[in-house]
């Protein structure tokens, strides 16, 4: 061992006390700038670098003086996490593994479609919902992500893109139950939609939930045009409770009624996600029952043939079964699509994100 190597554990143990710049409130940043003898407009410049550009350090903020860049570096962290994994799938889906300041890990994903760039972000470290087919909940939940940690995922994915690309859509469908971290999520969405942040249209943002009725109602009252996707996965309570255990304390009726209220208040059509699990919820009678459940509702069903999770003994039905399920719904007048699988070869598809990558 060289003497440098002997020092490494000591250096690694030293916590970085600097806060990520994004977590510092404007008022505080303004007073800090003043103490550095800087004008107020520097705040806007810094913000523009963070949100509109793809620079990866204070050092690259070229319209700030060298002195200010150094002071920023000494006082704050450019981003609060460390990028510890980056995988690119054959369909050009990219997945990042981020190590947060307390050592916890989360994943987020960039998906490319013609004319569309969608980022999928996480809201918790792990997940408490325990859905039987999902990798994210295998180890339970450790903690909520902060507002900054949620926003930073979008920004770091933005920095992966080429000059001629830009984020068109955000789906809150990564690790965690978004509505269980409601306050931090809402303030993150406020930043993403604000003109001073990323300026994304609310209609381009979709929040996916296991279905927490009280929070769905609260979400409806935001006065924003966000999209809501609800993970249904079964057309009756008995089956749903089997595969989505939190259904026990909720029940489909409560969820449907909260979804109806969301539609009444916002005028936004609700999407219903339905993971197809071979031999579990993919039979014609399930499709019939689902059509019956959603009848008279303006709804959209998104079928998701299950993506593989190595520890789990469940799988997607074959293509003919999926098509049959889809056709039954269509035949009953239900709007339905089959979700395209993205990034499956790097475990970046729905339900494959997780917090342990050892
Ligand atoms: N907690 C939120 C976000 C989860 S991820 C929710 O429950 O909606 C987004 C979607 O992927 C959910 O509908 C989720 O049920 C689904 N999903 C989870 N595991 C999956 C898997 N292995 N294959 C396909 N979809 C899965």
**Would you state the pLDDT for residue 358?**
53
> Residue 2: what pLDDT?
44
In tens, the pLDDT along 222-277 reads 999 999 999 999 999 999 999 999 999 999 999 999 999 999 999 999 999 999 99
Distance CA 122, CA 109 (A): 9
3-state secondary structure of 331: helix
Tokens 């009444």 belong to: 264
Q: Whose Cα sits closest to atom 7 in ligand 1?
A: 210
Banded pLDDT at 349 (limits 50, 70, 90): confident
What residues line ligand 1, using a CB cutoff of 6 Å?
129, 131, 133-134, 173, 177, 208-210, 231, 273, 275, 304, 306-307, 309, 350-351
In the structure, what pLDDT confidence band is assigned to residue 354 with cuts at 50, 70 and 90?
A: confident
pTM score, whole prediction: 0.94
> Looking at residue 3, what is its pLDDT?
46
Mean pLDDT of the chain: 94
The string of pLDDT tens digits covering residues 125-138 is 999 999 999 999 89
Given 79, 107, 152, 177, the catalytic residue: 107
352 CA closest ligand 1 atom index: 22
CA 340 to chain centre: 17
Q: Beta-carbon neighbour count of residue 152 at 10 Å?
A: 24
Strands lying side by side in the sheet with 205-209:
82-88, 94-99, 105-113, 116-120, 169-172, 205-209, 227-231, 270-276, 299-305, 335-338
The structural domains of the chain, with segments of one domain joined by +, span 20-77, 81-346
Please give the CATH superfamily to which domain 81-346 belongs. Answer: Aldolase class I (3.20.20.70)
Ligand 1 atom nearest residue 177's Cα: 1
pLDDT surpassing 80 at residue 1 = no
Atom 26 of ligand 1 has which residue's CA nearest to it?
A: 351
The predicted structure's pLDDT at residue 344? 87
Render pLDDT for 13-52 as a digit per residue (tens, 0 to 9): 567 889 999 999 999 999 999 999 999 999 999 999 999 9
What pLDDT does 238 receive?
98
Distance 210 CA to ligand 1 centre (A): 8
Using the predicted structure, report yes or no on whether residue 7 has a pLDDT greater than 80. Answer: no
61-110 confidence digits (pLDDT tens): 999 999 999 999 999 999 999 999 999 999 999 999 999 999 999 999 99
Confirm whether 107 is a catalytic residue. Answer: yes
Give me the pLDDT at residue 355, please.
Answer: 67
pLDDT at residue 241, rounded to an integer? 98
Tokens representing residue 95 in the block: 């997945």
Q: Which atom of ligand 1 is nearest to the CA of 172?
A: 3
Percentage of the chain modeled with pLDDT above 90: 89
Instruction: State whether CATH 1.10.150.530 applies to domain 20-77.
Output: yes
SS3 80: coil
Same topology for domains 20-77 and 81-346, yes or no?
no
At 15 the pLDDT is: 75
- Residues 175-232 pLDDT 10s: 999 999 999 999 999 999 999 999 999 999 999 999 999 999 999 999 999 999 999 9
Residue 350 known to be catalytic? yes
- For 258, residues 6+ apart whose C-beta sits below 8 A from its C-beta are 211, 213, 214, 216, 217, 220
pLDDT given for residue 11 in this prediction: 54
């Amino acid at each position: 061992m060289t003497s440098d190597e002997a020092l490494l554990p000591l250096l690694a143990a030293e916590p970085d006390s600097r806060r990520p710049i994004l977590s510092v409130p404007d008022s505080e940043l303004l007073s800090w700038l003043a103490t550095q003898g800087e004008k107020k407009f520097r705040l806007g410049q810094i913000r523009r670098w963070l949100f509109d550009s793809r620079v990866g350090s204070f050092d690259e903020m070229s319209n700030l003086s060298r002195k200010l860049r150094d002071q920023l570096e000494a006082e704050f962290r450019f981003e609060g996490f460390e990028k510890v994994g980056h995988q690119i799938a054959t369909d050009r889906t990219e997945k990042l593994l981020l190590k947060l300041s307390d050592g916890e890990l989360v994943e987020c994903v960039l998906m490319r479609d013609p004319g569309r760039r969608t980022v999928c972000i996480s809201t918790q470290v792990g997940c408490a919902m325990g859905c039987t087919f999902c990798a994210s909940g295998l180890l339970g939940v450790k903690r909520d992500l902060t507002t900054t940690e949620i926003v930073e995922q979008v920004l770091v994915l933005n920095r992966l893109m080429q000059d001629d690309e830009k984020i068109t859509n955000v789906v809150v469908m990564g690790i965690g139950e978004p509505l269980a971290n409601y306050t931090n999520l809402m303030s993150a969405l406020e930043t993403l939609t604000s003109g001073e942040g990323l300026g994304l249209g609310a209609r381009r943002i979709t929040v996916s939930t296991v279905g927490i009725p009280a929070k769905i109602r609260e979400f409806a009252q935001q006065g924003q045009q966000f999209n809501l996707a609800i993970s249904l996965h079964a057309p009756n309570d008995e089956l749903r409770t089997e595969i989505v255990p939190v259904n026990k304390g909720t029940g489909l009726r409560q969820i449907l009624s909260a979804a109806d209220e969301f539609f009444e208040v916002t005028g936004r059509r609700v999407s219903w996600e339905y993971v197809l699990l071979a031999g579990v919820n993919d039979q014609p009678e399930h499709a019939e029952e689902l059509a019956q459940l959603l009848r008279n509702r303006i709804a959209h069903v998104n079928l998701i043939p299950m993506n593989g999770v190595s520890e789990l003994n469940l799988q997607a039905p074959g293509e003919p079964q999926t098509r049959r399920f889809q056709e039954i719904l269509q035949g009953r007048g239900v709007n339905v699509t089959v979700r395209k699988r993205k990034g499956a070869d790097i475990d970046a598809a729905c339900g494959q994100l997780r917090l342990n990558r050892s």
